[in-house]
Amino acid sequence: MPSSSHAARALVWFKRDLRLGDHAPLAQAAGFEACLGLFIIEPAWLSSPECASAHVAFVLDGLARLRAQLHTRGLPLRVELGEATDVLQRLHTETGFTHLLSHEETGPGWTYARDLAVAAWCRGQGVRWVETRQTGVVRRLRDRRGWAARWDQRMNAPQPPTPAGWAGVGQQPLNDLPSLADLGLPPPACTPPPAGEIAAHAMLHSFVQQRAMGYRRALSSPLTAEDGCSRLSAHLAWGMVSLRQVHQATEARIAQTPDRDLAHDLRGFAGRLRWHCHFMQKLEDEPAIEFQNFARHCDGLREDSSDAALLQAWQRGETGYPMVDACMRSLMSTGWLNFRMRALLVSFAAYHLWQHWRPTGLFLARQFLDFEAGIHWSQMQMQSGTTGINTLRIYSPTKQARDHDPQGLFIRRWLPELAQVPLEHLAQPWLMDAATQRASGCVIGRDYPAPVVDERAAAQSAKERLYALRRDPSVRQETDNIQQRHGSRRSGLQSSTRSGTRRSSAKPVPPPQLSLFPDA
């Protein structure tokens, strides 16, 4: 890659790839005369409506660990605050780098605008920008046919070796990493888990070796999912482990284990890794879905129905529906929630409260430590019924409480005001008579709110509105177009197996139970 006609120097630009292993730009940089690492803390990120202090704290922890690893191998990692083009210009003046090496990124709209500006800057300065793929997302994809084969090819390809060392650009002094206070951010609402590559691989190892046993059963309940899910999603979101590393470790364990039950559970997890990229591909193909409905016939459906009081009750975990409120309070405290309970939160906001997916999605993005734009916005719309092609899933908060917290352990943990409510009333405490309320120390309307809406009436109203819209013959052509562009194909969702290869088919299949994040 380096030119032989002059001294070639590389700048490795870290974005959502904070690791050493399976890192093509780092492998490429070993062939240069000198190189330098860079991470930019961008004002556009800090001021974006999806960003929260917990995200920044997690990244700063990961950067500190990555910088120590790189330092021992001779590669300085600069962490700079500023607009990307301004930072690049300063470093170009300082070091004269000739190549900018990075991974491709499918992110929010501000990252797309940033990349356009960086590309223009590189052209103007004569710097060669080399971007490398790191997921199964395909840029400039014309058709979903054959997408699965590409995914398999990428995920099964050998990982680039991690160089033993690099020739650093001089003896670059390492500036101190900024604190949250330095960046003008408050302390995080939750305490992020340990970040970095070592923590990510420890989590991966414990999952594929042992914790995955019973995964298919464990992932739905917030009680069993806490340990039974991989818990890799935040590390995947920031590239502290690559999707290929997770895929290959999972496949290797499936091939090695004599335990059929464990292999069966791991195959279920392996399938979700494919869905990870399937949903990210939607944002790559149509960036506008971050801001507007997939199905434009849904325009006007909820835009004018925002209710500040209902939205605030949902955000605070004070809707009067214990399972909804426990999920929200758990999420705000930990930064993580299992897939079905995330689905419940979105479903309740979209259908029972009739709120638009954009403001509720921004709030959830700030709570989810594992926020991944491509997955997040695709799923927010899917669960809100605005894709035009997915089955409507309206979750009953009462049924979810009884099915997935039958002893009330999760609700009592996160709603201490309901600690003494009899189990038979825990899913619907407003049905207690006055004497039982007083005896339990939980008077509805005083100690715990009354339901903000009637569950059955609200759900029925939502169904009537959406099904009436879908029956309109004028929307069929748009629905067909959305299915053609974004719908899944059987060839994209084959089960994890080495016994054979499925033939490609354009027949769409329904997606699995809503999975907002890859470790579900």
pLDDT in tens, 246-259: 999 999 999 999 99
Measured between alpha carbons, how far is 467 from 345 in angstroms, rounded to an integer? 21
pLDDT digits (tens, 9 = 90+) for 181-190: 999 999 999 9
**Starting at the edge strand that comes first in sequence, how are the strands of the sheet with 77-81 ordered?**
77-81, 34-41, 9-14, 99-103, 128-132
Measured between alpha carbons, how far is 306 from 355 in angstroms, rounded to an integer? 6
Query: What pLDDT is recorded for position 172?
Result: 61
Rounded (10°) CA dihedral 428, 434, 437, 438: 180
Specify which residues 36 forms β-bridges with.
11
Query: What pLDDT is recorded for position 130?
Result: 98
Encoding tokens for residue 126? 């004569």
Measured between alpha carbons, how far is 296 from 288 in angstroms, rounded to an integer? 11
* 153-182 residues labelled b (16+ CB within 10 A) or e (exposed): ebbeeeebeebeebebbeeeeeeeeeeeee
- What are the distances in angstroms from CA 72 to CA 28, 67, 76, 200, 317? 18, 9, 9, 20, 46
Query: What pLDDT is recorded for position 520?
Result: 56
Helix (H) or strand (E) holding 81: strand 77-81
- Establish how many alpha carbons lie within 13 A of residue 161's alpha carbon, considering only the half-sphere containing its beta carbon: 6
What are the two backbone dihedrals, phi and then psi, of residue 90, each rounded to the nearest 5 degrees?
A: -60, -45
- Residue 227, number of CB atoms within 10 A of its CB: 12
Measured between alpha carbons, how far is 160 from 1 in angstroms, rounded to an integer? 15
Residues of the chain with pLDDT under 70: 1-6, 170-173, 487-520
Q: Domains (ranges, CATH) in the chain?
A: 9-134 (3.40.50.620), 296-481 (1.10.579.10)
Measured between alpha carbons, how far is 504 from 85 in angstroms, rounded to an integer? 43
Contact 136, 155 (CB under 8 A): yes
